[in-house]
Chains A and B, each alone.
Chain A
Amino acid sequence: MKASHLGRSAAVLAIGTLALTACGSDNATGNGSGSETGAAAGSVSGTLTGIGSSAQNAAMTAWQNGFQEANSGATVQYSPDGSGAGREAFVAGGADFAGSDAYLDDEEYEASKEVCGPEGAFHVPAYISPIAVAFNLPGVETVNMDGETIAQVFTGEIKTWNNPAIADQNPEADLPDTPITVVHRNDESGTTENFQEYLAAAAPEVWTEEVSGNWPSQWAAENNKGTAGVVQSTNATEGAITYADASAVGDLGTVAVGVGEEYVPYSSEAAAKAVEASTPVEGRAEYDMAMDLERDTTESGAYPIVLVSYEIFCPQYDSQETADLAKAFGSYMVSEEGQQTAADAAGSAPMSETLRTRAQEALDRITVAG
């Protein structure tokens, strides 16, 4: 009784203080992070601005904080407006780096030469996340499906869970006759685009629509906004199936995807493996890491439905301060520590050793213009 009374007056006092004075604190975690410590003063300072993909937001938050803790004079700000908005701003010179779920197309690459010097911008695949095909069937945790079956489910050709096409691949599972409710994103997104790329490559006869970031209206089904939205809809509807960043699927069952002769469940290692088995994009700067994933790979243990999100940097910046900052922040992101921080915070798949080395080589070439 007394305690609750005290608590209430404390709350009133707190609100009063809030109203009267500007006493809010940036020290949210209580461990003295941020500029107050000054202990871990790094060599770089200034503000680095990034705009881009919202898929990266959780990882970027972790990177920002880790980097700022180590370099008290530096600030990194990132606005998760979306990949398209990020590339647009970056090419126009409105951001120091962009986060994007897709690499710059040829036109944008040409345009980037104006702000980045003759070599044009380069990509670093710092955020790799497997896309899980997740479903809500009580008691069933995993189902095997090959690419063609997944495509038939998502185009509405397979309507129930006990359809022979699914049952034949899962002899030991007990599949009910629940109707399948497909849930897809209603906003344009890199996740949708990567998923469709996989479907188009693995089942070209079934997935006949052109690949894009929007779900084709011909196969429109239930939909919701954002990763959180589709996961919520799937959780609420028995028999629903969706695709979402693996970190967000929670307790939903997931599909083990048919690759070659085996079925591969999603995992960080399997995703990293698929990324290594990719082909670089032609006609880019020497150290550029933009890549086309081989979705129809048959390599053992690779999980082909992967979202690779890039950080796009310039090889040349106008000021020494920005160049140093960009190099330092980029290096932190692709460092083992940085990748682990993102994996802990955002559930992404850490880059492989080889990829990290290549990324570091590319980042080392950042200089000041002139």
Chain B
Amino acid sequence: MSTTLLRNQTSTPPTGGRRSRLTRNQRPAWLVPTIGIAAVVVGAAAAALVGFNVALWAVFSAVIFLVAAPVAVTAVEGRRKGADSLVTYLVYTAFILAVVPLVSVIWTVLANGLPGLNSNLLLTSMNGVTGATDNAAAAGETPVLGGAYHAIVGTVSITFWATLLSVPIGLLTAIYLVEYSRGGWLGRAITFFVDVMTGIPSIVAGLFAAALFGLLFGPSTRFGFVAAVALTVLMIPTVVKNTEEMLKIVPNELREAAYALGVRKWRTIVKVVIPTAISGIASGVTLAIARVIGETAPLLVTAGFATAINWNSFSGWMTTLPTFIYYQIMTPTSPTNPDPSAQRAWAAALILIIIVMLLNLVARLVAKAFAPKTAGR
């Protein structure tokens, strides 16, 4: 195909006048920026016709640009380059489209959360804080007292246990699927049902764990570990699916090379396959943790609701950051003055995001430590 194209190019009589043969059929550098400016101007005019606002202006300009620029490139450079430029601009548009709401969400959290992020919030629990305390704070007599320390403790311990349970199970299952089963009926069944498991509504997972422990320890048994089991049910599918995809794309040549050297299968998996895929696996595990660390519904029925610090996941009720946020927003400590509660809720949301950010960082470091030096880009 390329050869035909090359011949076509060489056999076309020179029409470009002064331009060199090498740059002929290339778009001049000013073309796309000019179209961009024109799109912005025409977009503004079109938006003004309908009823001007910034969002409309942006949308019109983007649409005009996305149509006009590829058409112009096609006219100058041909269909293939036109398609290429269309996709390029689409990719950039998609990126901007994705970034706008994301920035808005992050901005909302930062703007509302930062004022409340202080040592009170980080280092104290809600023990002893009542509506009267908040009324005093709203009247300006005291700073906003009470914090999320107990919720941070709860989130860290429950997530820790959930991760400890689900990562080995998920990882081993994915290994079984990719390395051992190889399309056997059991493997197919597992893959299929893991997919189905992603559709378990989170509250159902909570009820399931509550019922399970209710059978073992009596009705309404609630402690951190029960919640961890509920979260495990939600985490496993994400871990398995992600790991499975990552293991699948490890080139078979690597495995065959290891076998050819006489390395046992399990050592091949541990030393060759997993390290090759570790970056993807780590990202998948982080994603899975991120998926469950923000869960509210299953925790309400499994971990109870505490206002004091509890480090023990096997006895006593616990509060996690999402439940803390949820109840601070839904049932403010003082119904008459919900502002202190809202402030604590947003700041707690910020803490949750920071925790995940740190986890993400750790996962990346882990991935880097294990990954072969030349993998990927």
Contacts and interface: CB of A to CB of B under 8 A. Distances in A.
A binds B: yes
Contact of A51 (B123, B220, B308): B220
Interface in A69-101: 69, 77-81, 85, 89, 92-95
Contacts of A147: none
A80 B130 contact: no
Contact of A347 (B118, B301, B304, B336): B336
Contacts of A81: 300-301
Nearest to B329: A228
Interface stretch (A18-26, A267-275, A355-363): A18-26
Contacts of B118: 11
A156 interface: no
Contacts of B126: 28, 61
A227 B152 CA distance: 26
Contact of A78 (B125, B152, B305, B332): B305
B122 A15 contact: yes
A10 B122 CA distance: 13
A58 B131 contact: yes
Sorted from nearest, which 8 A-B pairs have the closest CB atoms?
A94-B220, A345-B131, A24-B149, A94-B219, A28-B124, A247-B335, A57-B331, A26-B127
B336 A14 contact: no
Interface in B274-298: none
Given A28-B146, A58-B333, A77-B306, A344 B122 contact: no
A247 B128 contact: no
Interface in A208-241: 225-229
A94 B334 CA distance: 28
Interface of B: 118-120, 122-133, 135, 145-147, 149-150, 152-153, 214, 218-222, 300-301, 304-309, 311, 317, 327, 329-336, 338
B101 to A, nearest CB: 20
A24 B123 contact: yes
B125 A28 contact: yes
Contact of A79 (B119, B219, B304): B304
Contact of A24 (B221, B306, B309, B336): B309
A248 B125 CA distance: 24
A94 B221 CA distance: 7
A107 B247 CA distance: 55
A95 B220 CA distance: 7
A341 interface: yes
A304 interface: no
A93 B221 CA distance: 10
B131 A61 contact: yes
B305 A18 contact: no
A60 to B, nearest CB: 10
Contact of A33 (B128, B220, B311, B336): B128
A142 interface: no
Contacts of B307: 61, 64
A26 B120 CA distance: 11
Given A57-B331, A80-B331, A345-B334, 6 more contacts: A14-B123, A24-B124, A34-B128, A77-B305, A341-B132, A346-B335
